Amino acid sequence: MANKESQTVSEEITTHPYDALTPEVVLDAVDSFGVVASGSLLALNSYENRVYQVGLDEGEPLIAKFYRPGRWSSEAILEEHAFSHALQEHEIPVVAPLKGENGESLFEHAGFRFALFPRRGGHAPELSDFDHLEWLGRFMARIHAVGASGEFEHRPTLGVAFYGRPALDYLLENDFLPSYLASEYQSLAEQMLQRVDAAFAELPNLQMLRIHGDGHVGNVLWREGPHFVDLDDCMTGPAIQDLWMLLSGERHEMVMQLDALLMGYEEFFEFDLRELTLIEPLRALRMIYYAGWLARRWSDPAFPMAFPWFNSERYWEEQLVALREQLLRLDAPPLTLGA
């Protein structure tokens, strides 16, 4: 199987859409916005899209984000932009795309859709610092308050139908799993997806709102406070999706972190404590989705270089262990405040 996969990757390297995104195309795209690129170009750490810091002859560098062809519709990208601008208008520290002379924020050049952003520096927040967590909770609540004031029409809704089932089907239909592991992986994943569906079904009248969607520490930069970046995965979902990825460590540590987050959160938006039962189901969903995401992107030459451990027999064996452990976590009592 490894030889087959290596051959597939090497054959597709020369035909991947991003092969056409040369430095010249990037610089010309930025110039088309009405600025003059200096020729300074720095590729940033992004795999789903291609993101560059582009120096200008005059002024601060810009961040140019080239959307992965075929992933989102233009309507979905524009909803992401509109949400970012709405948050910014409410003085929430989100890095929103720049607008052109006619108010447009999504541009096209040489067949690529792209957006430009101001450069914002910073470092990751200290999640061991409860003051940082409380601050993050306040801003997440403000994001959700704006999110609750409208609806997405073109963005996905968090759940098995969009994030779980397609990922598992892709893995199985494209023979990513070694034959001796495929049956057990499928069985464990199916059990997990059923549990995720059941967890959502057990929460009648669950509020689903516009959320950041990928609220891990890598999407928060800290400089005298937090600012949020990369709303590429904004979606409709429960509030807890933007909080649970900020929790880590042993159970007692996560409880203390959660206390701090919600102390800040509830200053601005009410949190439904029932959503705490979704933390482990959402973790399970993300595990399956992440494996499927890597598989879908495996023909992109950036992925085998960045994730060389993926798609090895050892990787899938470790995944089986992780899925078994996650099923046990699904049976454990959910986190509760102060417990």
pLDDT digits (tens, 9 = 90+) for 274-314: 999 999 999 999 999 999 999 999 999 999 999 999 999 99
Could you tell me which residues come within 8 angstroms of residue 22 by beta carbon, excluding any fewer than 6 positions away? none
Q: Which residues contact 98 (CB under 8 A, 6 or more apart)?
A: 33, 62, 105, 115, 116, 117, 118
pLDDT score recorded for residue 224: 81
Determine the Cα–Cα distance for residues 183 and 167; give it in Å rounded to an integer: 16
pLDDT at 121: 81
Say whether 175 is catalytic: no
Residue of 197, 214, 259, 272 marked active site: 214
Low-confidence ranges of the chain (pLDDT < 50): 1-14
Please name which of 267, 294, 207, 278 lies closest in space to residue 240, comparing C-alpha atoms.
278
- Cα gap 2→184, rounded to integer Å: 20
**Residue 271's closest CA among 143, 156, 90?**
143
Residues in contact with 44: Cβ distance below 8 Å, sequence separation at least 6, in sequence order: 51, 52, 53, 63
Tell which residue, 128, 94, 65, has the closest CA to residue 234.
Answer: 94
Rounded to whole angstroms, the Cα distance separating 285 from 166 reads 11
The pLDDT value recorded for residue 5 is 36
pLDDT of residue 15: 63
Q: Which residue of the set 230, 232, 233, 300 is catalytic?
A: 230
Q: Is 214 a catalytic residue?
A: yes
pLDDT averaged over every residue in the chain:
92
pTM: 0.91
Instruction: Go through 36-57 and write b for each residue having 16 or more CB atoms within 10 A of its CB, e for each that does not.
Output: ebeeebeeeebbbbbbbebbee
- For 334, which DSSP code? P
Q: Which residues pair with 287 in a beta bridge?
A: none
pLDDT digits (tens, 9 = 90+) for 210-259: 999 998 888 888 888 888 888 999 999 999 999 999 999 999 999 999 99
pLDDT at site 6 = 33
> What is residue 125's predicted lDDT score, i.e. its pLDDT?
83
Q: Return the bridge partners of 236, or none.
A: 157, 210
